[in-house]
Chain A
């Protein structure tokens, strides 16, 4: 009985060790922090584009940013048009424990962009490639879409509050 239990514990530990090893093996060599592209939104509201990528130690990356002035799609929905290189190629090698690659593109034209990140080995051969597409739009700077303050009501309320405060004191 005791032997069985020890065997069970041993197997469980082995399973966890293996899964964590696999997790490390599949860990990406980089994380894109900016532009913020989530599964629900790939629109960036900005006139200036900051690119910030957190890079794991000992990795070589090749980073390019493409802009698509006119976008055409195939029947399957894939982008057919050719992108124009607006920033790059940036070669970045991460030597420290913590590494961030950062660059900025000011006064961008709004439209479709592609951030292309290639992982390169010591010989300069691309071993992995990732592309992130996103749209940029200008931010509306007029009055907020949803009213932050209800002026009229609060003004009237405040008027009476101030009036009563003046009469009766605080």
Chain B
């Protein structure tokens, strides 16, 4: 996937919901057209389109999502659905009641600049047939269907959840926060990281990071399909029969263990939700008490500060523990010089020469497993020196001597950092005790009762969570040493090989072991069929690529989390808490940490700005520059946050299109535009005219009139007159 640079040039509505159109009136365009000639939004600026309630903000947002994914966007978990039913919702409304609708075809069109070329995407919603028909204006001409450039299509095609991150509303942040689509962010990172095709090849990982599905599955299916044709009568027939019997039992038992795992995961999720609610309830009680008892609020803040200090001091202490420069005080320069220069793969000459000569003269097989030919032996002899370093042994000896002396560490810095940790820990314990005592002395009786109830509920849910986690570990652990120690290694024989006994299979409690047993049986059966090379090739390749994808996925999640946290801390809402809050994208969605604990009680504004930060960071990962389009972006924001939002968001995205209501307009005027900021911003309004459209529906007007923009109070603010 190569980079992608997208900007919106214009938007057009024709007979869509509140927007009228042909044949009764002209379609509405933003920016307005000159006759048949399109005009473009000014580029490199921010676009603020004031759309009072009832003028089609949500409709516009959903249709913008649709043109980006190539099919009508729906809010459901799946992107499917009958298109006729979906297109119904975009019918032109004729009267005041929603059931009076037009059957005239509605048209929504968006022109975009994609990697320097202009594309127009048009959706024709034919309400008679219930069919949505698509047209694309490409640089090569107008074509039926949805035809963006490949780079665009690769990312967004049929991807209704991904586009929500860029064409954003409050529902998106709710989804992200509630983890309604657990893998949304993980998949977005994968998509923008350019790795989707590799996942399509090897399949999706399960909780144990075992990959299944994908193109590899078609190979595995065809390998296992004709196992029934194996001849039991031939040599080893009894063995083959037993393997087949075992495999059938494995497949049955696999389903049982999977069900247990699903239940345990559900239990854990429920416990987590309960714990989050309890935590919010406890925070609420403390807030309420805090407002009544000022000292309680102060001490709460003090505990948070001490917690941060403790975190930092513990980090420093850990570094001191691991700091070798405190031990090898005199030799440290030599050691670090050695490692600084040690970039080559050369061997110390004293020992390496003899080894290479021995390899060339005496060995039958090379270290790579290939049989050594005369040419290879000669090559090694001729190139000995280029693999040897005369000085390396000297440096190694120096280091060995340094280690051999077992020097005593300089313990002063470690002692100092340890004292600091103990000091903060003690202060924190004292503050917590003080807070508890104060609460018991001063809080209202009913608050105490609720708190006690929540606390015992918390204990119960924590226990439920522990039980579920233990079960998940029992089922998914891959560490055989741990499994053996815990007596959970049934299915692995004393010689370390997987069982081939049908009686043992139902007793297996761990899915990793069951997978080993299955893999071994399939291997034997493929061997009997003569397909073992293909089977081994598939198993090995899937394991290697799968493991690498899992490692890379973790790295990318960490990278995006770090980057998003940095961006987030510059944004309003999160910035207020300094370095306390941190975004972490985890395999099952977004988590927000305050210090080292996840938190439930973050504000809507903080979540929204977290989503913007993540979107920005994921876009950067894929070198994708896509506009941020948002519906009522300031919902839930205090007015004090408008100016910082404006500064940070407009700086973060190459194009911002905000569909704002009149309240948000007033907030922006007061906080931004009247303070000489954003003078170049494009500002326009959609407003309703007093006179009905000829078809009896609302008559909307798109206007760039600054006076109307500044003074409009609602969709039906008819006092402003016609332009």
Are A and B co-members of a single complex? no
